[in-house]
Structure 1
């Protein structure tokens, strides 16, 4: 599994409706912390701990501003966890430890 790109608000809604647990990375191409944490997120998406258990997705807040507004994104990066279509967790910033804690908390096999 990889980190899937979300290009539209409708695509976002389809993903959270279809996948049991989703991590959304709201990023901007100009954001330094976003660039720094992206390889770590990609590594987790491929890890045995989370692969096929959590759906990893991202969207560019500048490319899909209506989704950023709907989700209340006010800083980049922002990580959101959705379970069964409902937002259950959020972390602002690129510090990997709290993001990993979110993933572990909502991993269906934990």
Structure 2
């Protein structure tokens, strides 16, 4: 698996409808912490514990401001975790151990 780029609100809705667990990274291209944590998240998307159960996705808040507003994104990076189509958790910041714990508790 990989981190899928969400380019439209429709793609976002399809992702949370089709996948039991979605980790959505709300990022900005100019955000330093976003760039710092992105390789770690990409690595997790390949790990056996997540590979077949968690759908990793990301979207640029500047490209999809309507989605950012709908999700209440106030800082980047914000990771929103959906379980069975509903928002299950949220994590703000670029702290890999804490983010990993937040994702893992949804499994």
SS at match of 1:89: strand
Unaligned runs of 5+ in 2: none
Cα deviation for residue 36 of structure 1 reads 0.2
2:106 maps to 106
Cα deviation for residue 71 of structure 1 reads 0.3
Aligned length: 107
Provide the C-alpha distance between the structure 2 equivalents of 1:57 and 1:46, rounded to a whole number of angstroms: 13
Structure 1 runs (4+) greater than 6 angstroms displaced: none
Provide the C-alpha distance between the structure 1 equivalents of 2:98 and 2:10, rounded to a whole number of angstroms: 28
Whether 1:27 and 2:16 are equivalent positions in the alignment is no
Report the TM-score when normalising by structure 2: 0.98
1:89 maps to 89
Cα deviation for residue 97 of structure 1 reads 1.3
SS at match of 2:50: coil
